[in-house]
Amino acid sequence: MRPSLRLGWTPARLAAAGVTFGSLYALGAVLPFWFLHTPEAGAAFFPPAGLTVGMLLITPRRTWPVWLAAAAAGELVVDLTHDQTLAMAMGFALANIGEPIVGALVVQTIWNRGRQSARRGVVVFLGGAVGLGPLYGASIGALVASSTAAGPAWTSVFGRWWLGDALGVLVVATPMLVWSLRMPDAPRFRPVETLLFAVVATGVTLVPAILWNRPMVFAVLPVLVVVALRGGVQAVSLVGIGVAFAADWAAVTARASDLVPAVSSDDALVQVQLFIGVTLLAALILAVEVDDRRRAERELREAEARRAHAELAALDAVGSEQRRIAREVHDIIGHAMNVMLLQAGAARRSMNGGDPVVSDHLVAIEEIGRSAFRDLDVALGLVDRSPDLEPGKGLAYVPELVETIRRAGMAVDLDVEGTRPALTTIVDWSAYRIIQESLTNVVKHAPGSHARVTISYSPDRVRVAVIDDGPSGPRKGNGNGHGHGRRAKPNGHGRGLIGIRERTSVLGGEITYGPVAHGGFAVEASLPLAGDRT
CB 51 within 8 A of CB 25: yes
Task: Work out the pLDDT band at 360, boundaries 50, 70, 90.
Answer: confident
% of the chain residues with pLDDT over 70: 76
pLDDT in tens, 172-227: 999 888 887 766 656 666 778 888 888 888 888 777 767 766 666 677 888 888 88
- 90 falls in which pLDDT band (50, 70, 90)? very high
Residues 342 and 426 in one domain: no
**Alpha-carbon distance 394 to 425, whole Å?**
8
Judge whether 49 lies within some domain. yes
Is residue 216, in this structure, part of any structural domain at all?
Answer: no
b vs e for 239-263, b when ≥16 Cβ sit within 10 Å of the residue's Cβ?
bbbbbbbbbbebbbebbbbbbbebe
400 with 349, same domain: the answer is no
Same domain? 29 vs 115:
yes
User: Does one domain contain both 401 and 366?
Assistant: no
**Range of weakest confidence among 73-77, 220-224, 311-315:** 311-315
**pLDDT score of 39 more than 50:** no
Q: In what order do the strands lie in the sheet with 450-457?
A: 411-417, 450-457, 461-468, 521-528, 510-515, 481-484
Please give the DSSP secondary-structure letter assigned to residue 463.
E
What is the pLDDT averaged over residues 37-43?
A: 55
Q: Is residue 85 part of a domain?
A: yes
Point out the domain boundary residue: 182, 212, 234: 182
pLDDT bucket at 32, cuts 50 / 70 / 90: low
Residue 405 domain boundaries: 395-528
Whether residue 260 is predicted with pLDDT greater than 80 in this model: the reply is: no
DSSP state of 391: P
Specify whether 56 is located in the same domain as 150. yes
Q: Which residues pair with 511 in a beta bridge?
A: 483, 525
Q: What is the pLDDT of residue 290?
A: 82
Q: Is residue 226 included in any domain, yes or no?
A: no
pLDDT over 50 at 486, yes or no: no
pLDDT band at 69 (very low <50, low <70, confident <90, very high): very high
Q: Has residue 149 been placed in a domain?
A: yes
Within this chain, do residues 130 and 63 fall inside the same structural domain, yes or no?
A: yes
Residue 476's domain is classified under what CATH number? 3.30.565.10
Under the banding of pLDDT at 50, 70 and 90, the label for residue 93 is very high
Say yes or no: 87 and 173 in one domain: yes
**E strands within 10-138?**
none
Identify whether residues 151 and 126 lie together within a single domain. Answer: yes
Say whether 215 sits in a helix, a strand or coil: coil
Q: For 179, how many CA atoms within 13 A lie in the half-sphere containing its CB?
A: 13
- Residue pair 201/224 in contact (Cβ under 8 Å)? The answer is yes
- CA torsion sign for 489, 495, 501, 504 is positive
Closest CA to 418 of 459, 456, 462: 456
Paired sense of beta strands 411-417 and 450-457, if any:
parallel
Same domain, 360 and 457: no
Residue-by-residue DSSP string for 319-347 = HHHHHHHHHHHHHHHHHHHHHHHHHHHHH
- Give the angle 459-461-466 at the CA atoms, nearest 5°: 130
Q: What is the dihedral of CA 317, 322, 327, 333, to 10 degrees?
A: 160
Element (H, E) at 488: none
Q: Are residues 128 and 48 in the same domain?
A: yes
**pLDDT band at residue 42 using 50, 70 and 90 as cut-offs:** low
Contact (CB, 8 A) for 169 and 52: no
- Which amino acid is located at 480 in the chain? N
Helix (H) / strand (E) element for 456: namely strand 450-457
Distance CA 397, CA 400 (A): 5
* Alpha-carbon gap, residue 452 to 315, rounded angstroms: 30
Is 245 a domain residue?
no
160 and 48 part of one domain: yes
The answer to whether 257 touches 210, Cβ cutoff 8 Å, is no
- Exposure string of 107-142, with b = 16+ CB inside 10 Å and e = fewer, is bbebbeeeeeebeebbebbbebbbebbbbbbbbbbb
| End position of a domain, from candidates 134, 154, 182 | 182
The amino acid sitting at 303 is A
Cα–Cα distance for residue pair 489/486, rounded to 1 Å: 8
Residue 204 CA, distance from chain mean position: 40
- Show which of 383, 404, 420 is a domain's final residue: 383
**Does the residue 234 lie in any domain?**
no
Beta bridge partners of 466: 453, 523
Residues 362 and 469 in one domain: no
Q: How many other C-beta atoms lie within 10 A of the C-beta of residue 194? A: 20
Mean of per-residue pLDDT scores for the chain: 78
What is the rounded CA–CA span in Å between residue 426 and residue 433?
10
Mean pLDDT of the region 223-240: 84
The pLDDT of residue 252 is above 50: yes
Nearest to 137 by CA among 168, 177, 107: 168
Burial class (CB in 10 A: 0-12, 13-18, 19+), 235: buried
Cα separation, 205 vs 207, in Å, equals 6
* Contacting residues for 2 by C-beta, under 8 A, at least 6 apart: none
pLDDT of residue 71: 93
* Stronger pLDDT, 193 or 415, i.e. the higher one: 415
Residue 133: CATH number of its domain: 1.10.1760
Q: Is residue 140 part of a domain?
A: yes
Position with higher pLDDT, 221 vs 382: 221
Question: Which of 320, 335, 430, 426 has its CA nearest to residue 383?
Answer: 320
420: Cβ–Cβ under 8 A, 6 or more apart, which residues? 395, 457
Number of domains making up the chain: 3
If you count them, how many residues does the chain have? 534
